[in-house]
Structure 1
């Protein structure tokens, strides 16, 4: 067996620290907030194992957990999302796990269920459908990325004998579009599809939209009659600095009725067994430590910065757009040279920047200036390559 020699890792940590700071200055393309600090929790990290194994609603045999706070986190998020008193939920390792839990619960209730989701839904949805061996029907979207409810209704009508699991999105990955959830529920009602579940993947936009609603943008939370479950990300708007999420059901899922495991003394109701209790501490600090009004101010700040970014890009001739609620500004794919410096993801239709709380107007100005400079250099090169005209 090869031995591992002890190393002095100080230089590595220093180098990574500098690298992460430098990279963070140009990372404007992915939705991760970094503006909330957790220095006051440092003493709870060293030498402390916190394992929230099993259900958050019973402690189990162990004592090294934060389940009491986890239940409070669930209730705080549930209140923001207008969940009824019978709510149930837990802290996940991300929005994808929450969606998987909702799909599995639907399959347990309705073994013949078909999943319906838009072409703009998260890329992991196809993998989840394959993993759970559930058929997936992909629905078209409009130009802004919202699900085409008429197309959805047509596909539902073709399979009225099958149960339906509709995954709506509140904040698509590229344009931050919000599906019209009330219209989706109404379509199911018109077709008399009663064996159904409507789950909302609200990873980015769920909390901001519930905290500061925008006229004309439909609700996408548990206050909409007919919505079964909603999942939000913690590392996006709540700035937990590590991937996590919170899954909320309006009523307890089938998993909530599971019996206790003798070894752990708690029910196995989550997708994973062991879960980080430290993540719950960060979520609790982000929610209870700041309070609702502070988060509403963060939402308004992000939207103001996004509106500024949209206007600045249009001023230099970029066809920039944003939904009225969105932190996201999307535009045609920029020159490749720009994305070598700036983290700006793109597909074949558009690219985007996302104005999370740490993104400033100065960051936007630097991005716009780099784009404008690059276009100017390209024009100069094209002009230099044109052949000289012959004298008359």
Structure 2
């Protein structure tokens, strides 16, 4: 399994940070952060104090202020579900709007809360089209709106115009609204860009909730995420549960007490400076990847400041490269932990394919490819 790591280029999981100093507690103690993280509840086998520190660190990064509220989830999909559920609880007539490039979990969240989902076309850079969003919002006059914006789409790492979406809702006088930002991949690295290059997508830009993933850029090495609100949401389902001694404000009941430790070790341990360096190294590698592909004549694209490079999907290759995507387009996501030497090997294989130096027999259905072709 470890030997195949160099071939996994299509999925956004950072692997450069490890936490050997936490091995004992992660593998040797039960830690259950059940219930609201801002309420200790019964017992001491939790890490809620650390969880709150993580929430506040991220809240400051995204402009939430002192009243920030949130919790560590099992993944960004759970965070988006929490935001969609909060919107549907506050406004039972809510309509959910998301771009055609939004994560597949948005449709699932809308289905679970029984809210209609409206897809919005994207522009040439894969961003939600504000003109098309205006048209879609006008199709549902008088209804509450839940717009899900994306900061780092799964295919091209596009960044929706969060401030523009908020301004559009203001222009249309949509007061009953929510604006959730799915910043699972690109939220932290984009927020750490210098002034002038940093897109406005946090709470100052009009977001009402935001989610980032832990196993993507922060390199927690196990799935988790953090959902953030500028203040604690209110709702009729947040009653205090005597069994746990805490309010029921999360989607799940029992939650990992280990993932807040990993997040804290990454976020607080590296700080803004360390993560800014990590992000820049990934951008430099993405630029190298794009240039190398173009140099051999292989079609490729990269959006500004993105870790992601999309490329024409190759046919069979001599090594088991994982490029994801569909039959036409693959992707390389230059996450921290990806090495330039791996990219160079892939480019060499693609160059050989272009020039006819590499021939990989296509296995017939029901037959395995020869072992020599997969090495």
How is 1:101-112 mapped onto 2 (pairs within 5 angstroms)? 101-112=82-93
> Residue 158 of structure 1 is aligned with which of 139, 142, 150?
139
> Residue 347 of structure 1 is aligned with which of 301, 326, 342?
326
In structure 1, what is the equivalent of residue 121 of structure 2? 140
Moved more, 91-100 or 319-328: 319-328
Distance 2:317 2:90 in 1: 49
Whether 1:55 aligns to 2:36 is yes
1:214: Cα distance to partner? 7.3
1:42: Cα distance to partner? 1.2
Does the 8 Å CA contact 1:258/1:267 hold for their aligned counterparts?
Answer: yes
Does the 8 Å CA contact 2:90/2:235 hold for their aligned counterparts?
Answer: no
Distance 2:130 2:34 in 1: 40
In structure 1, what is the equivalent of residue 272 of structure 2? 292
Unaligned runs of 5+ in 2: 361-375
How is 1:265-284 mapped onto 2 (pairs within 5 angstroms)? 265-284=245-264
The CA deviation string for residues 16-69 of structure 1, in whole angstroms up to 9 with x for no partner, is: xxx2x1121111110000111110001213431000000000111121000000
The CA deviation string for residues 74-105 of structure 1, in whole angstroms up to 9 with x for no partner, is: 01111111212221100011110000000000
Does the 8 Å CA contact 1:182/1:218 hold for their aligned counterparts?
Answer: no
Distance 1:69 1:173 in 2: 30
How is 1:110-129 mapped onto 2 (pairs within 5 angstroms)? 110-129=91-110
Give the structure-2-normalised TM-score.
Answer: 0.92
> Residue 333 of structure 1 is aligned with which of 310, 313, 318?
313
How is 1:182-201 mapped onto 2 (pairs within 5 angstroms)? 182-201=163-182
In structure 2, what is the equivalent of residue 305 of structure 1? 285
Summarize the Cα distance change of 1:147–1:339 in structure 2 as closer, same or farther, 3 Å threshold: farther
1:257: Cα distance to partner? 8.2
Q: SS of 2:143's equivalent?
A: coil
Distance 2:59 2:118 in 1: 29
1:312: Cα distance to partner? 0.5
> Residue 240 of structure 2 is aligned with which of 243, 260, 270?
260
Give the structure-1-normalised TM-score.
Answer: 0.88
Distance 1:47 1:207 in 2: 31
1:289: Cα distance to partner? 1.6
In structure 1, what is the equivalent of residue 365 of structure 2? none
Unaligned runs of 5+ in 1: 1-18, 382-392
Moved more, 318-327 or 130-139: 318-327
1:208: Cα distance to partner? 0.4
How is 1:200-239 mapped onto 2 (pairs within 5 angstroms)? 200-213=181-194, 215=196, 218-224=199-205, 226-239=206-219
Distance 1:128 1:168 in 2: 14
Distance 1:46 1:96 in 2: 26
Whether 1:247 aligns to 2:231 is no
Does the 8 Å CA contact 1:178/1:217 hold for their aligned counterparts?
Answer: no
1:311: Cα distance to partner? 0.5
Aligned length: 360
Distance 2:195 2:312 in 1: 26
Report the aligned-residue RMSD: 1.8
1:255: Cα distance to partner? 4.7
In structure 1, what is the equivalent of residue 302 of structure 2? 322
Does the 8 Å CA contact 1:160/1:193 hold for their aligned counterparts?
Answer: no
Does the 8 Å CA contact 2:80/2:105 hold for their aligned counterparts?
Answer: no
Q: Pick the structure with greater CA Rg.
A: 1
In structure 1, what is the equivalent of residue 345 of structure 2? 366
Distance 2:236 2:303 in 1: 37
